[in-house]
């Protein structure tokens, strides 16, 4: 498979040995830049595209190939995260092509905020899509992220069209994304997507709050506590009863 090894982009950081960013042991490439401004974001330091270092596709892939024997041994691969990886769509697509050319399993961890054309092209080279849904109600989604839910919905639709294995991830924030009726509606909606393997419910945390303070940003969830285990269990049961 042909790819542009000299294509450059901004990379915030790279982590080898990731075990929660897709199957197996993974190299996780955090691309810089994100158009969303999620109220609970724990990496606001990735928002600006130029916050990272300029790297080439060749450099990133050659670095990851050092760990390929570990990836192959346990079904791992490369995960492209962020920021929002679709924010550097041309760079992302070349990275995906390069990964596939070397026989590496690919995962995109994304909010789905991109165009239909870009999503369709990128997903051709994607083995697993980890798709974050910030809320199901359109108004709540806009409140949480600052952008429309349309990108998520379109990327999800295309993932079904292309039959891409997909994991939905949902951050449970008390008094913000914990409306049980909306969650039932979301679970019912996802029933029609047979490419969705599961929904991972993730508890809200404030590990990145200090980064907001360092940047003189208002952290509106400073007084919000993580969800209780009972709340987590209830939401997991909601999704489990539909999927």
For the stretch 51-75, pLDDT in tens is 899 999 999 999 999 999 999 999 9
Mean pLDDT over all residues of the chain?
Answer: 97
d(CA 84, CA 114): 9
> Is the model's pLDDT at 15 over the cut of 80?
yes
Average pLDDT over residues 181-207: 96
> Is the model's pLDDT at 243 over the cut of 90?
no
What CATH number does domain 8-242 carry, 3.30.930.10, 3.40.109.10, 3.20.20.70, 3.40.50.1580? 3.20.20.70
pLDDT interval class at 1 (50, 70, 90) = confident
| Cα–Cα distance list, 185 to 135, 136, 188, 238 (Å) | 11, 8, 5, 10
Average pLDDT over residues 228-236: 98
Residues 29-54: tens digit of each pLDDT: 999 999 999 999 999 999 999 989 99
pLDDT interval class at 83 (50, 70, 90) = very high
SS (H, E, C) the chain: CCCCCCCEEEEEEEEEEECCCCCCCEEEEEECCCCCCCCCCCCHHHCCHHHCEEEEHHHHHHHHHCCHHHHHHHCCEEEEECCCHHHHHHHHHHHHHHHHHCCCEEEEEECCCCCHHHHHHHHCCCCEEEEECCCCCHHHHHHHHCCCCHHHHHHHHHHHHCCCEEEEEEEECCCCCCCHHHHHHHHHHHCCCCCEEEEEEEECCCCCHHHHHHCCCCCCCCCCCCCCHHHHHHHHHHHHHHC
Average pLDDT over residues 10-38: 96
Residues 114-169: tens digit of each pLDDT: 999 999 999 999 999 999 999 999 999 999 999 999 999 999 999 999 999 999 99
């Amino acid at each position: 498979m042909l790819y542009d090894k000299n294509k450059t982009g901004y990379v915030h950081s790279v982590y080898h040995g990731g075990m929660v960013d897709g199957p197996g042991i993974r190299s996780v490439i955090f691309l810089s830049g994100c158009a969303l401004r999620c109220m609970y974001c724990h990496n606001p330091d990735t928002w600006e595209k130029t916050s990272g270092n300029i790297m080439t596709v060749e450099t990133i892939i050659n670095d990851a190939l050092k760990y390929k024997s570990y990836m192959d041994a346990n079904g791992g691969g490369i995960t492209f995260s962020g920021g929002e990886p679709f924010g550097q769509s041309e760079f992302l697509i070349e990275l995906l092509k390069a990964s596939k050319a070397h026989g590496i399993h690919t995962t995109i961890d994304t909010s789905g905020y991109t165009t239909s054309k870009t999503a369709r092209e990128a997903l051709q080279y994607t083995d697993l899509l980890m798709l974050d849904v910030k809320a199901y109600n359109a108004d709540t989604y806009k409140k949480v992220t600052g952008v429309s839910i349309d990108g998520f919905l379109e990327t999800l639709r295309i993932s079904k069209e292309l039959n891409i294995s997909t994991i939905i991830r949902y951050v449970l924030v008390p008094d913000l994304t914990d409306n049980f009726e909306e969650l039932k509606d979301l679970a019912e909606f996802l029933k029609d997507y047979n490419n969705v393997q599961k929904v991972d419910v993730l508890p809200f945390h404030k590990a990145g709050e200090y980064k907001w303070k360092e940047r003189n940003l208002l952290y509106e969830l400073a007084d919000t506590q993580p969800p209780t285990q009972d709340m987590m269990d209830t939401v997991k049961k909601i999704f489990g009863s539909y999927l």
